[in-house]
Structure formats: C-alpha cells, structure tokens
Amino acid sequence: MKMLRSLITTILSAALLLTSTVTFAANWLALPDKPPTPADNPTTPAKVELGKMLFFDPRLSSTGTVSCFSCHNVMEGGDDHRSTSVGVHGQLGGRNAPTVWNAAFLSVQFWDGRAPTLEAQAADPIANPIEMGMKTGLAVDRIKKISGYKPYFDDAFGPDSQVTDVNIAKAIASYERTLITPNSPFDKFVNGDQKALNAQQQRGMQTFADTGCVMCHSGANFSGPALPLGSGFIMRFPTYPNSPYVAQYHLLDDGGKAVQTGKIEDQNMWRVPTLRNLVYTAPYLHNGLVKSLPETVRVMASTQLDKTLTDAQVGDIVAFLQGLTGEFPQQIMPRLPPTPGDMLE
C-alpha cells in the first residue's frame, strides 16, 4: 500500500511539472449509490439508526454540549461554516471541519489522512481534548449509563452485544455511509442528460480538465481515484511555494501529514478533498482562510498548477463546481434516550 501511494505521488508530481504543456483527458464518473464498506462492518438499518442517534448526541462530549453534528451539520453542508471549529469550553481547533457528506468515498479520513476508515475517524474527536474532550473509557461509561441505548445496541450488534468504543464507532460510521448526495446536475449530465449542465458549466468542465484540476480532483467524488480503504490519495499543497497566495493565506504554516508522522517527506502533504457540494462548505482549504469559491479556484490554480486563470475561466470553473451540488436525502430526526438523574450524581 505504501509503495502504491509513493508510486501515485511520483506519477502525479511528474504530471504536475508538465501541466504547462499538456492537457488532460478526464474520466467523468457519476456518484455511486453506495460507498465502499469494510467487510467487518456491513451497513444495516439498525446500525444506521443507532449511529444517527450517537452522531447527534452531545453527551459524547465532556460538557454534554458538543456532538459530531456540532461541527458536521448534516442539515447544511456537513461542516460548520467556520474557518476552524469550536470544541468544548469554547476551544478553537486548528483545521477547517471537512464535510461528512460523501466522506464515505474517501479512502482515508482527516485532512492529513491519518485515519484509514470512518470507524477510525469517529473515535478521534470524541477523545480529542479540544474537540469533545472525553478521557479514555468515559464515552463508553456514559453511553452505558444511558440505559435507553441498550436495546439499540442489541438490535445493531446482537443481543449479547456490549456498549464498546468499537461498536460506537462502527455505528457512527454506518450512519455516515448513508450521507451520500447523488443526482447533482453533473451526475445527470454524465448519465446522459445533456441539458443538466448549462453551456457555461460545460465550458467550465472542459477548463477544469484542461487546466489540470482533474489530475488530483478525479474520480466520482472529485477526491482522487477510488483506492482501497486505507490507501489515501495524498498530495503536496502548495506545490508551487512561490505563489503569492502561499504567504497571503498562510499555506505553509501547517505541515499537514508531517505534523502527525514527523517525517520530512510528509511535509505539506494533504489528502485531496472532495469538490462536491462546495456551495455549502465555505470557507475553504485546510485552514478555512479562503472565503469564496472563485478565490479558492484562483489559489489552487496558482499554488498547484502555477497558472493564473482569467476571470472568465474562474467563472466557468465555479459554475461547473456549482453543478456538483447533489440531492441531500431526507432524514428523520433521531429520538435520544433520556439522561438518568443518577448518572448526573
């Protein structure tokens, strides 16, 4: 897997250096109905229902005020429209909350790709002291004390199941695998409806490919090829550190994957994010410092492709990206079991 990643990185890095002389053939793919799912956690309605409950339950945080939903607002863009998020006690996180919509199509999770699956991702913010702030074992203890959860765990994991951190994460991940937004104008266009994208959007689609955006933002989710879960499609950002945007938006301040691994080769390496539903997910980039979509397109063209786009090109690409807004499935609110009074004592 590591060799595969290195190989891809090498090929793409070589390709990036050629962008001023070549154009790119895009392989446009509609969003599948179902995302990849790990063999040890098949999606079932009972797990999805339990996972939805846990996703919305602020009792998974130390103060009882922060849930997964707090930073991943599935009633809107699956993020929190802030540069960086607010955790327990008003603490500020360091990176922009990525959208949970279509996250199931990413082969690794977090901006630095440090979690191989949604299951691994789900547990991390719960334990993070500036996000949900729960010490080891505390989340399990608390969910156990809320006795109304027991029948839902039984339904999801069998009558002899336990409330464990593994099962909590499996349930939340199962719910997240239902957060898919198909049938965007782009998807309809790819599926044969020639009028689903207007003339400007189709022009933008071509410019998106010709400029080289599609080199990284490929595949059905515009987040790279559909690699096996855990692989990670990780790229250097910024690739052209002399771009004036690099200083303006502090793009070298955060070392990306290297912050986690400590390895020099991981410096400023980032997982390629999806471009679906960008209309809903301002502000942009890992630090959330770029507020508008047109500016983000300019920044990316400059820092990754060493290109300065015309206003017309930017407008066309933005119009195309707006065509990536999908249909958000209707969702019923979960009913959360009550907090026993003696749990508070």
Catalytic residues: 131
Q: How far is the CB of 18 from its own copies (least distance, A)?
A: 32
List the interface residues with its own copies, window 43-62 (CB under 8 A).
56, 58-59
Based on the number of CB atoms within 10 Å of its own CB, is 168 exposed (0-12), middle (13-18) or buried (19 or more)? buried
Q: Is 130 in the site for its own copies (CB under 8 A)?
A: no
Among 9, 37, 44, 63, binds its own copies (CB under 8 A): 63
Q: Does 172 bind its own copies (CB under 8 A)?
A: no
DSSP element (H, E) containing 145 = helix 138-145
Identity of residue 256? G
Query: Nearest distance from residue 334's CB to its own copies, in Å?
Result: 6
Alpha-carbon distance of 26 to 28, in angstroms, equals 6
If one asks whether residue 264 binds its own copies (CB under 8 A), the answer comes out as: no
Q: Cα–Cα distance between 36 and 38 in angstroms, integer?
A: 7
Taken in order 150, 156, 157, 163, the sign of the CA dihedral is negative
Q: How far is the CB of 90 from its own copies (least distance, A)?
A: 3
User: First vs last Cα of the chain: how many Å apart?
Assistant: 49
Q: Name residues contacting its own copies, limited to 307-336 (CB under 8 A).
A: 328, 330-336
Residue 90 vs 192, nearer CB to its own copies: 90
Q: How far is CA 84 from CA 93, 97, 121, 253, in A?
A: 6, 6, 18, 14
Amino acid at 321: L
Applying CB under 8 A, among 232, 283, 323, 326 the residue interacting with its own copies is 283
Report the alpha-carbon distance of residue 138 to residue 141 in Å, rounded. Answer: 5
Among 75, 195, 310, 311, binds its own copies (CB under 8 A): 75
Containing 206, the helix (H) or strand (E) segment is helix 199-211
Residue whose CB is less far from its own copies, 80 or 266:
80
Question: Is position 39 an interface residue for its own copies (rule: CB under 8 A)?
Answer: no
344: contact with its own copies by CB under 8 A: yes
Interaction between residue 114 and its own copies (CB under 8 A): no
Q: What does the DSSP 8-state code read for residue 304?
A: H
Q: What are the residues binding its own copies (CB under 8 A)?
A: 56, 58-59, 63-65, 70, 73-77, 80-82, 86, 88-91, 279-280, 282-284, 291-293, 295, 328, 330-342, 344-345
